[in-house]
Amino acid sequence: MSEPQTAYAWFARSADAYGDDAVALEVGGERLTYTALRDLAERLAARLVTAAGGSPPRRVGLLANRSVTAYAGYLAVLRAGAAVVPLHPDHPQARTADIVKTAEVEVVLTDAAGAGADPGVPVLTVGPEELAALAAGPDPDPSWSETGPDDIAYIIFTSGSTGMPKGVPILHRNLCAYLGQVAPRYGIAPGSRLSQSFELTFDGSVHDLFVAWSGGGTLVVPQRSQLLSPVKTVNTLRLTHWFSVPSLISFASRLGTLRPGSMPTLRWSIFGGEPLSLDAAREWRAAAPGSRLEVLYGPTELTISCTAYRFPDDPDEWPDTANGTAPIGTGYPVLDLLLLDEHGRPADSGELYVRGPLRFPGYLDPANNAGRFRAPDGGPGGDEPPGDRHWYRTGDRVAVRDGHLVHLGRTDHQVKIRGHRIELGEIEALLRRQPGVRDAIVLAVPAADGEPELRAAVGGADCTSDALYAALGDWLPPYMLPGRIAVLDQLPLNTNGKIDRRALLGELECAR
């Protein structure tokens, strides 16, 4: 049997197979079977068409979080033939409005928490009362758009070095190719209970949704506060599959709850978004001895992940890497991987380039494609937009060790903090726009708990930390705000007249 060709079709296949015999979604105390979730998604899809003026929209903003509306709405957007543009209710309104404009969103679907939002386009608010009315109302008379593999499934906005977020469109064929590689790995079936730890603005959430729904599993959505107590959450929700950033292991460890055998229900534990230390992996594995452990790696542009490393069942056979982090493994069979050294020559250690059916078609704004692709022969340059055989430049330095890739860091100033991809240049660009600021540097330094934290320093006059915080808070989401902004008369320079990042790093590390 051929695999589905669109994201919604993956869900619909399970809905056909399992109907009312399996639960598709648990969130906020509610449980929806596959039949109930499909019915609600189709009714919401019809409402979206009406809200868009009677014609199926091309792109719909989803301003909802950890609610029935959020997940039924995700499916509804796809069912209506549109692309999902996830928006975060806690992000500044100016940033949300800019994303809505850039993505050419035609209508925004929101839940009760987003009521009153003004993104500059029509808003359809669907809270608990509206959901109940939909469920009790007449069957919809839908007007669907035909969706094909080359249509956009979703658009994720990532941090951009120019000071503006970059739109990353992922096609249905990209996501379907991903699911074809990944969904069979985890034995999903009715009775599987998969965590949904990621926000919808983070592409790991797409893995959660459609891996669960690919085989009749249940997507189990913890509330945000529950994620700070992972062991209690796993046990309370009886999870069989866990996927999160490794930082949540640190939360569990500091709580003292990560005791041997403390998570007996887990069968799979998957981590991604940032490096997983081997020490953290051992602690988690001891707490979930019946769970297989895997690391996924990949930028948003490569559809969630492009490599995987599965730990051996015997901890005595685990690797010992020089940097103390788990390998990122090997590429999926459908992908080509290439390592180039600083001279652009193939090597066993260097920057990672990837091509294949998981690679996105190029940024929403073609200007962002510059420098991110290489020609099919590995040489510099390439078409705009890039062709299918062009390589995507990840910006990650990796090395081959014992047949597996090991992540060595970045080639630029991008960092990952609790799974969030942050271009330091975006924050620096915003700081430089503020009155009185001559220059700005943002660095990631170790915080007291060992996790990285952002610190900023500006050179300028007649500006204060409080004013700069206020200006950044009007635009940046909370995870991108520096923990400290130091205002200096002059940023330190090295002998070449460039800003001395090393000296500044030492100063900011001491300022705790």
Higher per-residue pLDDT: 489 or 249: 249
- pLDDT tens readout for residues 151-193: 999 999 987 656 678 999 999 999 999 999 999 999 999 999 9
- Is residue 512 scored above 60 in pLDDT? no
Q: What is the mean pLDDT of residues 463-471?
A: 88
Position 354 scores a pLDDT of 97
The two three-digit tokens of residue 43, written as one number: 């009714």
Higher per-residue pLDDT: 165 or 69: 69
Which burial class, exposed, middle or buried, applies to 454 when counting CB atoms under 10 A from its CB (0-12, 13-18, 19+)? Answer: buried
Q: Which domains are present in the chain?
A: 334-410 (2.30.38.10), 415-510 (3.30.300.30)
- pLDDT tens readout for residues 228-250: 899 999 999 999 999 998 888 88
Measured between alpha carbons, how far apart are the two ends of the chain, in Å?
59
Position 418 scores a pLDDT of 72
Using CA atoms, how far residue 434 sits from 56, 442, 459, 483, in Å, is 41, 15, 11, 18
DSSP annotation of 443: E
- Is residue 509 scored above 70 in pLDDT? no
Q: Are 40 and 134 in contact (CB under 8 A)?
A: yes
Q: Kindly report the pTM of this predicted structure.
A: 0.86
Check the CA dihedral 47-52-58-60 and report its sign. negative
- Is residue 253 scored above 90 in pLDDT? no
CA angle 90, 95, 97 (to 5 degrees): 100
Q: What size, in residues, is the chain? A: 512
Which burial class, exposed, middle or buried, applies to 470 when counting CB atoms under 10 A from its CB (0-12, 13-18, 19+)? Answer: exposed
- pLDDT tens readout for residues 375-413: 887 676 666 678 889 999 999 989 999 899 998 887 776
Consecutive H or E run containing 504 = helix 501-510
Position 494 scores a pLDDT of 61
- pLDDT tens readout for residues 16-68: 999 999 999 999 999 999 999 999 999 999 999 988 888 889 999 999 999 99
Position 381 scores a pLDDT of 66
How would residue 275 be classed by pLDDT, with cut points 50, 70 and 90?
A: confident
